[in-house]
Chain A
């Protein structure tokens, strides 16, 4: 004999609750968090360097958390911008979780920080499932990775608020077919805005800085997603 018990509970409840609490705490402190997701080698760190430098020039207090399985290399690299930077070494875990972010922010995040950039572990699969308390989730893909990342990792793209194309300065030598990339994005998320960037030339960086600068903290009471303001020329907000 056996008995059936109805539990009806979200498996990720623990992480989701922590993330919601973190988002509320950050909002109360006037901080917005941005979660960067991409495969290894897309250029998250190079773009983050640009963003931290750009935010400093605009006198917007910013900080960065960077996740990796091992090494403090990225934190050392980002620290050269002068911004407060902290490494999260996951010890083999393939993604960041809300409790890791919370624990690393405690007693570290300087008061008055406006923008917190969280560079997730390089992986397009697992990090997609974990809310880190961010107000904006950006999925990045480089022209060197080909055009079909969005259709290979639809979950990462569906859950993102903005898609950033990196290394756009290499599009021609890589024979990158941007139309095919845009079609791939639209086939999984017709409304996802796309921003073209190059950390080397700085293309698209001012537009991304505008987005971060004017990003409202997500209202924890309603928990509605943030609308991304479209950049003037380089973004595409869908089929039209």
Chain B
């Protein structure tokens, strides 16, 4: 269950990159072989974002199809499941053609600051 540390890593990266902004949505590209269970990540998300600029935000997990080719008939069949997979044409073994290890923070939807406020003041930290 390392998804919790991945969730913390994402929170830290977003807070470091976009300080002081409220985050609405985070979109993550996840490879089929990224060693990440999307459900576990979603579960960890709520906890990891508590009392951060990402509190209440939505995590969108975009599972990346893994290109794969049949060892027997050579047909190409991208798959959303880790191997082993069988070829739908001839039931041969489908072998991945890519690493499928992507774990990439893509886009972040942030709340607008309002009508073109000139200076973005650092909010004083309320103790």
Instruction: Give A contacts to B, CB under 8 Å.
Output: 1-12, 14, 93-95, 125-126, 128-130, 151, 154-155, 158-159, 184, 186-190, 239
CB < 8 Å neighbour of A129 from B24, B34, B82, B111: B34
Interface residue SS majority, chain B:
mixed
Task: Indicate if the CB atoms of A8 and B104 lie closer than 8 Å.
Answer: yes
| A11 in contact with B104 (CB, 8 Å) | yes
Q: Are B2 and A5 interface neighbours, CB within 8 A?
A: no
- Where chain A touches its partner, the secondary structure class is mixed
Q: A2-B24, A155-B82 are in contact. List 16 more A-B contacts (CB 8 A).
A: A4-B108, A5-B18, A7-B108, A8-B106, A9-B13, A10-B104, A11-B6, A93-B5, A128-B35, A129-B34, A129-B35, A151-B84, A159-B101, A184-B84, A187-B93, A188-B83
Contact assessment for A11 and B10 in the assembled complex, using a CB-CB cutoff below 8 Å: yes
- Contact of B14 (CB < 8 Å), options: A1, A4, A7, A10: A7
What B residues does A190 contact at CB under 8 A?
71, 93, 95
Instruction: Indicate with 1 or 0, residue by residue over B89-103, a CB within 8 angstroms of chain A CB atoms.
Output: 000010110011101
Interface pair A12/B103, CB less than 8 Å apart: yes
Contacting pair A1 B2 (CB below 8 A): no
Binary CB contact string for chain B from 7 to 48 against chain A (1 if under 8 A, 0 otherwise): 001100110011000001000100001111000000000000
CA distance A172 to B35 in the complex (A): 33
Number of A-B contacts (CB under 8 A): 99
Identify the closest chain A residue to B96 (Cβ): A158
Q: Which residue among A9, A125, A129 has the maximum number of chain B CB atoms within 10 Å of its CB?
A: A129
Known A94-B2, A129-B2, A190-B71; judge A2-B13 contact (CB<8 A): no
Q: How far is A156 from B1 in the complex, measured between Cα atoms in Å?
A: 15
B107 near A6 (CB under 8 angstroms)? Answer: yes
Given contacts A11-B10, A158-B96, contact A188 B110 (CB under 8 A): no
Q: Which 7 residue pairs are nearest across A and B when measured between Cβ atoms?
A: A129-B35, A187-B84, A126-B2, A1-B112, A188-B83, A154-B82, A11-B103
B9 surroundings in chain A (CB, below 8 A): 11-12, 14
A-B contact pairs, 21 of them (CB 8 A): A3-B109, A3-B110, A5-B110, A6-B107, A9-B17, A9-B105, A11-B6, A11-B9, A12-B6, A14-B9, A94-B2, A128-B35, A129-B103, A151-B83, A154-B83, A154-B84, A158-B83, A158-B96, A187-B84, A190-B93, A239-B71
